[in-house]
Amino acid sequence: MEEMSQILVEFPLVLFLMFIVFRLMGSKELNQSTPIDFAFMVLLTSIGWDVTISQDFPLWFTFVLIILLVAMIYLFDLITSKSKRAEKIIIGEPLLLIEDGEIVEKALKKVRLSEDELLALLRLKGFFLLENIELCYLEFNGDISVKPKEG
C-alpha cells in the first residue's frame, strides 16, 4: 500500500514537471520538431515513466535528470542557433527531391522514399503533375516544400 501512495504522490509531481519542461521547450508542434527535439521528448517521457513506476530511484533523482535534460536541450538549441555547421550536423538540411519537374532518384534512395510515396505527398500539397513543379525539398521535419513553375 505504501508503494501505491508513493506513486499517487510522485506521478502528478513528475507529470507537472514534464508539462513545465515541454512548455519551456517551445510551442513547436510535433510535425515542426527536429529529430533532436523528438529524441528529447521521448527521453523525457521515458525518465518520467521509469522513475514513477520502477521505484528504483528517489524523486529528487528525477528532478536532477530532468534539469540535466533541460540544460542539454538549451545547449543544443544554443549551439545550433550560433553555428550553421552544427545545425547541419545536428538538425540536418533540406534535400532536393525534384528539380525542373524531374525526380532526383539518388535523393529518394538516400531517404528511402519510393516514387509513389513522393507522388502521394505531392498530391496532398495540391500538385498532381511533376511538370508543374520547379523545385521540391524534403525538409528536416519530414515535410515537403514545393515551388511551382512560373506561368
13 or 119: whose pLDDT is higher? 119
* DSSP letter for each residue of 57-68: S-HHHHHHHHHH
List pLDDT tens digits, range 24-50. 666 555 556 777 777 887 887 787 777
| pLDDT band, residue 125 (cuts 50/70/90) | very high
The pLDDT mean for the chain works out to: 84
Other C-beta atoms lying within 10 Å of the C-beta of residue 104: 14
CB environment 35-61: b (16+ within 10 A), e (fewer)? ebbeebbeebeebbeebbeeeeeeeee
pLDDT for the residue numbered 32? 62
The pLDDT of residue 48? 73
**Cβ neighbours of residue 98 closer than 8 Å, sequence gap 6 or more:** 104, 118, 130, 133, 135, 136, 146
Which comes out higher in pLDDT, residue 15 or 27? 15
